[in-house]
């Protein structure tokens, strides 16, 4: 009898060991016992469940790209990390979302860091600025000349980890008046992310958040508005209430849409998940630029053919003096705010002194030629 009981207990012990070997103990906020599919390798329940609030809204390509990235992270992590992407305003307004993410209201945020310049003013030049670099220049500064480390210093003050920079390309001004020079805009009101320079030309700049731009434009509170590339303005409805689309983008030349994570949440991830998250979002950086630009090109073609919008390119001769004006403003800000703001501007100037001569010398062979000359044949009108 005693031998029988010993065999019975041994069988139970062996069964328990086999069962426990097929299960995995979770870590993080959803800790417990999770089974893994033998056919797919995917866990039935994630170890970590995060929320990402995007500045974008459902239906916009940037939002859909971010959702796709979250899905890829879920698959690459074998179901260990699930990120739910929600649109702007779900948990916090655009002006408060960086702080809310840093406070742990949600784990990730995708937006323009100038919205947090009240915490660290250096986030404004890190993000954007009138008469500043284009997207390719900004990426080069970010990755090759110290920009990334300076941006992380700024985000440290918000308890945020910088993960990627989804920089937009050229933006457009929507207007109901045909401005062909800065002088034409004197006495008007413009919604812009950076009103510093235009005020020197008698233009009243209003930094309205995303939620208020359409209403301000439709009700005549502003005479013109910039809020992104042409396709984005089309999705906001600004194209429907405007007669003119005006280039070049001098007001907000590069817009660095950053993806950040709450540091406390990020540091709880195992090293492989940290790498998966970083690599997944960085892998999509360039496509945010290509998609914004090509979709805008398609929109321009459609709008030109319909005659709905007239496209204008302002006289660039104005911009020689305007850049000098903006440089003076930047130097004043560097002196006023000091610290990281001065460090950012000093870094940018040092980079540009090396980069701009090379960029000019190595410019594409078609620079300065007409579209027909670049093609080698006339475009059908």
Any idea what the CATH number is for the domain that residue 198 is in? Answer: 3.40.190.170
Q: Is the pTM of this model over 0.85?
A: yes
Q: pLDDT class for 35, splitting at 50, 70, 90?
A: low
What is the pLDDT at residue 277? 98
Taken in order 139, 140, 141, 146, is the CA torsion positive or negative?
A: positive
Q: Are residues 133 and 48 in the same domain?
A: yes
* Cα 93–Cα 167–Cα 371 angle in degrees, nearest 5: 130
pLDDT(8) > 60: no
Q: Are residues 224 and 138 in the same domain?
A: no
Q: Are residues 200 and 316 in the same domain?
A: yes
For residues 293 and 172, the answer to whether their CB atoms sit within 8 Å is no
* 29 belongs to a structural domain: no
Distance of CA 38 to the CA centre of its chain: 38
Q: Are residues 61 and 72 in the same domain?
A: yes
The mean pLDDT of 283-296, rounded to a whole number, is 95
Mean of per-residue pLDDT scores for the chain:
90
Rg of the chain (C-alpha set): 26
pLDDT(54) > 50: yes
The mean pLDDT of 167-183, rounded to a whole number, is 94
| Of 29 and 379, the one with more pLDDT | 379
Nearest C-alpha neighbor of 185 from the set 252, 253, 114, 251: 251
What is the pLDDT at residue 38? 52
High-pLDDT (> 70) share of the chain, %: 90
Domain count, the chain: 2
Judged by average pLDDT, the poorest of 4-13, 40-49, 142-151, 205-214 is 4-13
Contacts of 340 by beta carbon, 8 Å cutoff, 6+ apart: 120, 121, 122, 150, 153, 154
The mean pLDDT of 220-233, rounded to a whole number, is 94
Phi, psi of 183 (to 5 degrees): -60, -35
* 75 belongs to a structural domain: yes
What is the pLDDT at residue 1? 41
Element (H, E) at 260: strand 255-262
Q: Are residues 213 and 261 in the same domain?
A: no
pLDDT(30) > 60: no
The boundaries of the domain holding residue 225 are: 173-252+302-356
* 322 belongs to a structural domain: yes
Q: pLDDT class for 2, splitting at 50, 70, 90?
A: very low
Q: Are residues 72 and 203 in the same domain?
A: no
Q: pLDDT class for 255, splitting at 50, 70, 90?
A: confident
Q: Are residues 142 and 278 in the same domain?
A: yes
Instruction: Compute the CA torsion angle 149, 153, 155, 157 (nearest 10 deg).
Output: 170
pLDDT(39) > 80: no
Q: Are residues 213 and 321 in the same domain?
A: yes
The mean pLDDT of 359-378, rounded to a whole number, is 96
* 2 belongs to a structural domain: no
Cβ neighbour number for residue 75 with a 10 Å cutoff: 13
The mean pLDDT of 332-361, rounded to a whole number, is 98
């Amino acid at each position: 009898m005693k031998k029988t009981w010993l065999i019975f207990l041994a069988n139970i012990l062996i069964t328990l060991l086999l069962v426990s070997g097929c299960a995995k103990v979770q870590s993080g906020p959803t800790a417990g016992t999770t089974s893994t599919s033998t056919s797919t390798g995917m866990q039935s329940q994630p170890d970590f469940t995060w929320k990402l609030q995007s500045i974008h809204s459902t239906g916009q390509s940037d939002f859909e790209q971010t959702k796709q990235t979250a899905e890829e992270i879920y698959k690459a992590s074998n179901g260990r990390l699930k990120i739910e992407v929600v649109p702007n305003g779900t948990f916090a307004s655009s002006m408060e979302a960086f702080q809310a993410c840093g406070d742990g209201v949600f784990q990730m945020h995708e937006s323009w860091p100038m919205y947090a310049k009240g915490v660290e003013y250096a986030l404004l030049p890190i993000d954007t600025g009138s008469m500043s670099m284009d997207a390719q220049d900004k990426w080069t500064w970010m990755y090759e000349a110290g920009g990334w480390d300076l941006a992380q210093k700024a985000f440290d003050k918000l308890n945020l980890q910088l993960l990627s920079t989804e920089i937009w390309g050229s933006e457009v001004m929507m207007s109901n008046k045909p401005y062909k020079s800065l002088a034409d805009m004197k006495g008007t009101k413009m919604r812009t992310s950076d009103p510093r320079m235009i005020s020197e030309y008698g233009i009243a700049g209003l930094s309205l958040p995303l939620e208020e731009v359409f209403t301000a434009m439709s009700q005549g509170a502003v005479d013109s508005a910039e809020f992104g590339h042409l396709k984005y303005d089309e999705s906001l409805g600004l194209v429907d209430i405007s007669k003119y689309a005006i280039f070049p983008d001098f007001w907000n030349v590069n817009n660095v849409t950053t993806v950040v994570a709450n540091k406390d949440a990020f540091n709880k991830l195992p090293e492989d998940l940290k790498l998966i998250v970083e690599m997944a979002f960085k892998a999509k950086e360039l496509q945010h630029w290509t998609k914004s630009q090509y979709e805008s090109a398609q929109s321009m073609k459609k709008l030109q053919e319909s005659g709905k919008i007239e496209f204008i390119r302002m006289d660039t001769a104005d911009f020689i003096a305007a850049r000098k004006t903006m440089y003076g403003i930047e130097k004043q800000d560097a002196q006023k705010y000091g610290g990281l703001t001065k460090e950012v501007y000093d870094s940018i100037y040092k980079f540009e002194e090396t980069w701009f001569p090379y960029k000019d010398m190595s410019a594409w062979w078609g620079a300065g030629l007409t579209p027909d000359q670049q093609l080698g044949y006339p475009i059908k009108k």
